[in-house]
């Protein structure tokens, strides 16, 4: 199964982490959509403003299965080799998930201030091969 990672293509931190994941995965499991790609997001009934709550991960075959924010980071980690073991350990420590959620929210809300904003939107070497549609409302 493939997954779509929707990331902030203008955020220096987000782009750096996307590039690291690209190097590791090489498009095998994930493809990437910048939040600034209105047309592709519309196919999934998303707007760039939906990204305000953080990155999004969608299942390719069933895009209604989605994870956002720190849950999206956890889903990506879980899908990586031995990631399920690391995530089980992370989730077993009382209170750690809450701390992770809070840290994610702080970074998300201050990402441009702390890490800077790019002059142009980064487009991945492994873009979503989503079929184009002229009417996003017809996409299931």
For residues 127 and 129, give the distance between their C-alpha atoms in angstroms, rounded to a whole number: 6
pLDDT tens for 13-49 read 999 999 999 999 999 999 999 999 999 999 999 988 8
Residue 137 has pLDDT above 70, yes or no: no
Backbone φ and ψ for 28, nearest 5 degrees, come out as: -70, -45
pLDDT in tens, 54-66: 999 999 999 999 9
Residue 88 and residue 13: Cα distance in Å, rounded? Answer: 26
Residues 89-123 pLDDT 10s:
999 999 999 999 999 999 999 999 999 999 999 99
Confidence (pLDDT) at 133: 53
Q: Distance (Å, rounded) from C-alpha 120 to C-alpha 118?
A: 5
**What is the mean predicted confidence (pLDDT) over 67-84?**
95
Query: In Å, what is the CA distance from 10 to each residue of 37, 48, 60, 73, 122?
Result: 11, 12, 24, 18, 7
pTM: 0.89
Q: Count of alpha carbons within 13 Å of 133, Cβ hemisphere only?
A: 15
């Amino acid at each position: 199964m493939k997954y779509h990672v929707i990331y902030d293509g203008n955020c220096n931190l987000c782009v750096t982490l996307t590039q690291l994941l690209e190097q590791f995965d090489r498009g095998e499991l994930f493809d990437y959509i910048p939040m600034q790609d209105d047309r592709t997001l519309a196919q999934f009934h998303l707007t760039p403003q939906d990204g305000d709550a953080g990155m999004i991960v969608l299942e390719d075959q069933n895009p209604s299965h989605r994870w956002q924010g720190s849950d999206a980071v956890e889903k990506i980690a879980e899908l990586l080799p031995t990631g399920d073991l690391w995530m089980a350990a992370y989730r077993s420590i009382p209170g750690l998930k809450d701390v992770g959620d809070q840290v994610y929210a702080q970074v998300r809300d201050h990402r441009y201030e702390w890490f800077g904003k790019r002059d142009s939107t980064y487009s991945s070497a492994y873009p979503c091969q989503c079929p184009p549609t002229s009417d996003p409302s017809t996409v299931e």
